[in-house]
Chains A and B, each alone.
Chain A
Amino acid sequence: MFSELFLPVLMVIFMLIVGGYAVAVLDRLVASALGTSQDGGIWLAPMARGAWLLTQHANATEAPDWRAWRLAPALYLALAAGGLAVVPWSASLVATDLVTSVVLWGSVEALATVVIFLHGWSANSLLALIGGYRYVALGLSYILISMFVLIGVALPAESLQFTQVVASQAELWNVIRQPLGLPLFLIVGLGMTFWGPLNLADSTDLAGGTASEISGPPRLVWDMARAAMLVAFSGVAATAFLGGWLGPWLPGPLWMAIKMLAVLFVLLLLGRLLPRLAPERCVTLMWVVLLPLSFIDLVWAGIGALL
């Protein structure tokens, strides 16, 4: 009972906390390496900010939908936890080895759309609402691209289970077998966590978008949830394309951590380097360029599976 129920939960909570902290530290490291000045030390500043947010007053708007507004950040964190739960650390070390874990990750992406919209909508405030609508308009294209790319990695594995997807990469990683997959999936990751160039839901042109009205503890949960979602996404990307726990010399979980950190680093670097896209252009880019590319990726994967 203990090992079946509590151990996976503890594992996911541990990854939520450590992962969120890793994102904050890594982002600061990237920023200072690029010459952006950072106030406070790299290692302590995230904790100081968290502690400061905890003591701050939680903002209130006029007649918000209180329950949805307070629940949305927690639900986004819960979705990140759901994503982390299906990421395998080795053939046996995985919180939930569901046979449809690839589909579950697809559901996490779809439900994220609901939660982000709810976060923007429930504040009863203009800019937050625009941010929420923006995410829904874009989120559909992210989900579709991600779905085609993930069906592509499920084909050689002949399974919808992430552990099987990793096992199918023993000879050749999917990043080489399906060269379009990882770049497309990284774009989905930036979009889904609305990070860097694809931060259109919480962007500065909307004064913070869906998060424009939140402060104090809800803000802390929202920021943590976004960081945790980025970690969950890196875990899925490393599992689906970089061979997961596979690798010589080192133990599996360590390889997994290295690969996750590498994906995380690339995402945070892209987030710091690229300018934000205009939402209209982003929709065109997604539907006209990236979605057809994901079709090509799927056809490529299908032909590869047939040969």
Chain B
Amino acid sequence: MESMNHGIGVDIAFLLLATLAVVTGWRVFRTDSMVRASFFLLVSFIAVGVIMILLAAEYLGVAMFFMMAVEMTVMALFMVMFMMNPAGLNPMNMVHQERIAIGAGVAGFLVLGVMALLAAFPDQPVPAGLDPVRSLGNEMLGDSMLIFESAGLVLLTTMIGVVVLSSHRGRYGAAAEGSMPPGLEPGGDPAGKPEEDEEGEGGHHHHHHHH
């Protein structure tokens, strides 16, 4: 184990990874595409994961890789799906509410910086016989088993529910069978469903109202 000797290599690796994590984290807000932002965030998390491995958290560090990989992919795709920016290659502004964000960022930096400078961090070397994977497993499936199992069950139920709700095909036909999109104004015609005889004209302003 390198981390037990704590050679100069570990220090260099930590500095490089910390720089990578901060720089890619900063790029998340400077890039102009949601897909790029998601994957910059992924790189930042991966760098943090490697730092966790350096800190002998071998399971949590590696778990960070696959959790964040799937999470960021899903996030990127959902953002592209729900935003008016197909594929996310078109440039778009990623920053909103700049004054509040700057204020919150400065305040957060000051609080964390003060904590880093003033807090008394434990200075204990990793015990020789430590088995991080086993101790983590004992923690999760020992005293805290009820919490983790309930959380797991709730998540699984949510996942199955979401799949059932979003499934295109259902037991009684397509999921959208009989459903109507809401109108653009209260009580208006369904949006995005032009009537056949007015096709080509476009726009809902010319629609005659049924009432």
Query: Are A and B bound to each other?
Result: yes
> Once bound together, how far apart are the Cα atoms of A217 and B132, in whole Å?
43
Interface residues of A in 52-98 (CB under 8 A from B): 63, 65, 68, 98
A136 touches B77 (CB 8 A): yes
Q: Interface size of A by Cβ–Cβ distance < 8 Å?
A: 27
Contacts of B66 in A (CB 8 A): 103, 106-107, 109-111, 143
Interface size class of B (residues with CB under 8 A): 20 to 34
Contact B58–A113 (Cβ < 8 Å): no
Chain A positions within 8 Å of B33 at CB level: 65
Q: Is the CB of A68 within 8 A of B36?
A: yes
Contact A99 B87 (CB under 8 A): no
Tell me whether A103 and B62 are in contact in the complex, defined as CB-CB below 8 angstroms, given that A118-B39, A121-B35, A121-B87 are known contacts: yes
Query: Once the chains bind, are A100 and B73 in contact (CB under 8 Å)?
Result: no
Whether A117 pairs with B73 at a CB distance below 8 angstroms is yes
Residues of A close to B132: CB separation below 8 A: 99
Report A115 CB to chain B, min CB distance, Å.
9
Q: Taking the complex as formed, is B10 at the interface, i.e. its CB lies under 8 A from any CB of chain A?
A: no
CA distance A90 to B122 in the complex (A): 39
Q: Is B133 an interface residue, CB under 8 A from the partner?
A: yes
Contact B89 A63 (CB under 8 A): yes
- A-B CB contacts (within 8 Å), total count: 65
Cβ of B79 within 8 Å of any chain A Cβ, yes or no, is no
- Residues of A within 8 Å of B133, CB to CB, are 99-100, 159-160
Query: B92 interface residue, CB < 8 Å from A?
Result: no
Interface string of A148-167 (1 = CB under 8 A from B): 00000000000110000000
Rounded to whole angstroms, the CA-CA distance of A114 and B43 in the bound complex is 11
**Contacts A110-B66, A121-B88, A136-B73; A65 near B36 (Cβ below 8 A):** yes
Q: Is A282 on the interface with B (CB-CB < 8 A)?
A: no
> How close is B170's CB to chain A, nearest CB, in angstroms?
14
* B55 contacts the other chain (CB 8 A): no
Interface: B70 (CB within 8 A): yes
Contact, CB under 8 Å: B62 / A107: yes
Chain B residue contacts of A215, Cβ below 8 A? none
B144 to chain A, nearest CB (A): 20
How far is B33's CA from A194's CA once the two chains are assembled, in angstroms?
27
Contact A107 B65 (CB under 8 A): yes
A-contact bits for B57-82, CB 8 A (1 contact / 0 none): 01100110110011011001100000
Give A residues with C-beta under 8 Å from B: 5, 63, 65, 68, 98-100, 103-104, 106-107, 109-111, 113-114, 117-118, 121, 124, 129, 133, 136, 140, 143, 159-160
